[in-house]
């Protein structure tokens, strides 16, 4: 895995919905794809989300009908970022163990 600063890995569920490959992306790119995909649901500077989309971004059904773009972005950021891309050669050092390469840090 190569280092790509500020790129993040996202959940398979979101990647399948956006129909993109499983690799790191900038979060602004994910936002842009998501809003392009739900552009037909825009009403009065907000979005009217279906039950499937509510479940996808992790919003309870009792929450209401209209969602701002900031709320949708926050839900994607909180529920679908799995981990950030790491620089090469990060090691885990334990006193009793030998050095191990770190492949992933979860948030």
pLDDT tens-digit map of 30-76:
999 999 999 999 998 899 988 888 989 888 777 788 899 999 999 99
Q: Residue 6 — pLDDT band, cuts 50, 70, 90?
A: confident
Q: Which CATH number fits domain 8-101: 1.10.245.10, 3.50.50.60, 1.10.1370.40, 3.40.50.300?
A: 1.10.245.10
Bridge partners of 91? 101
Residues 37-49 pLDDT 10s: 999 999 988 999 8
Contacts of 90 (CB under 8 A, 6+ apart): 101, 102
């Amino acid at each position: 895995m190569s280092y790509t600063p500020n790129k993040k890995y996202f959940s398979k569920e979101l990647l399948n919905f956006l129909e993109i490959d499983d690799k790191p992306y900038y979060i602004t790119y994910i936002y842009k794809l998501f809003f392009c995909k739900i552009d037909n649901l825009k009403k009065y500077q907000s979005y009217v989300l279906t039950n499937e989309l509510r479940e996808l971004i992790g919003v309870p059904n009792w929450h209401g009908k209209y969602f701002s773009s900031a709320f949708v972005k926050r839900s994607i950021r909180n529920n679908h970022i799995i981990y950030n891309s790491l620089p090469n050669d990060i090691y885990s050092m334990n006193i009793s163990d030998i050095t191990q390469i770190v492949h992933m840090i979860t948030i």
